[in-house]
Amino acid sequence: MRNNYDLTGRILLSTLPVMRRIWPILRGLFGFAEKVHTAFWLIELVGVSAMIGFLVAGIRLYVSQHTDWFVVAGGFIVSFAIFSLPRPLYWLFLRWKAREPVYTIRFDYIPGNMLDNGWVRAYPANTDVKPTAALASDAPVAGSIVIDAPDGHAYDYRVPRNVRLSDRLVFAAKYTTGTMIFTQVELSSKDGTQTEYKWIKYEPGKGPPHPTKGYDEHECTFPIMGKPLQNEWRNFEISLPDVVAQTWANRGLIFKGVTVFRLRARLGISPIEFYESR
């Protein structure tokens, strides 16, 4: 066995002079092959780049010659995408369009009285009792207040003329037993020849909208879930055209504007934001 190892070693040693002469040749061949590969890669890169350049130039030339058709097609695709969106995404799109409120009813005059700061008594007329208000320490929205008013007492905030085209309201509220929140909306007939003013009462809960019992001709009740917040507060985002479409539209009326925001009895209320999406 040892003799076999010695023979193998002598054979390997005898090949070393040959390998020393061959190795530079092999190394040269490898280097040449690498340079050829690099050259082909560069040629291919230039060719592909030229093809891409010609393609971009061709597309640009084609678009410049058919701009009107591309505008029409783009408008159709965008409109189709918007109107086919699920309702939550559609309202997300509207919120993105109107991220800043056009007007906010604030309560930064507290401890001043509401009736001295833009609010007026809606009813009853034969009373001198004023509501009291204080900052709400448990509110999840900054600037919220708690209004203490007797049951059956309501107060209106007349929306400024340049704000009446607002079509979305956002606020948080904490309802108590006697709480009611309303908006008065300006409506018109579909042909625009008639204008009417109707009330909508927002009530936390589920169910279909319906005329308010005893006030069928003037007021509809609109159940709305809102989003629950901490300490029994709820956040409400109200699309007024959507509300009107589910209430007064069955009488052939369409939304035109919002005129009055009304609060009744004891409740917690945040600043009330008005948005214009159109």
Tens of pLDDT along the chain (278 residues) come to: 545 555 655 665 566 666 667 767 766 666 666 766 676 666 776 676 767 777 777 777 776 676 666 666 666 676 566 556 555 555 565 555 557 899 999 999 999 999 999 999 999 999 999 999 999 999 999 999 999 999 999 999 999 999 999 999 999 999 999 999 999 999 999 999 999 999 999 999 999 999 999 999 999 999 999 999 999 999 999 999 999 999 999 999 999 999 999 999 999 999 999 999 86
CA–CA dist 204, 183 (Å, integer): 15
- Bridge partner residues of 219 (DSSP): 199
Segments forming the whole domain that contains residue 70: 2-77
Assign 3-state DSSP to the chain and report helix, strand, coil percentages, each to 5.
40, 30, 30
Residues 38, 161 within the same domain: no
Alpha helices in 84-154 (DSSP H): 87-97
Q: How many domains does the chain contain in total?
A: 2
* 56 and 191 co-located in one domain: no
Specify whether 119 is located in the same domain as 39.
Answer: no
Q: Is residue 176 domain-resident? A: yes
135 with 199, same domain? yes
Q: Give CA–CA dist 114/261, Å, rounded.
A: 13
> Does residue 90 form part of some domain?
no
Same domain, 31 and 152: no
Kindly state whether residues 122 and 68 are assigned to the same domain. no
**219-224/195-204 β-pairing:** parallel
Q: Which of 42, 77, 112 is the last residue of a domain?
A: 77
What string of DSSP letters covers 175-210? E-TT-EEEEEEEEEETTSS-EEEEEEEEEES-S--E
pLDDT of residue 187: 98
- Single residue among 60, 77, 94 that ends a domain in this structure: 77
Residues 236, 121 share a domain = yes
Residue 232 inside a domain? The answer is yes
Domain stops at, among 14, 42, 77: 77
Q: CA 82 to CA 90: how far, in whole Å?
A: 7
Same domain, 247 and 175: yes
In a domain, 138, yes or no: yes
Residue 190 within any structural domain of the chain: yes
pLDDT of residue 95: 55
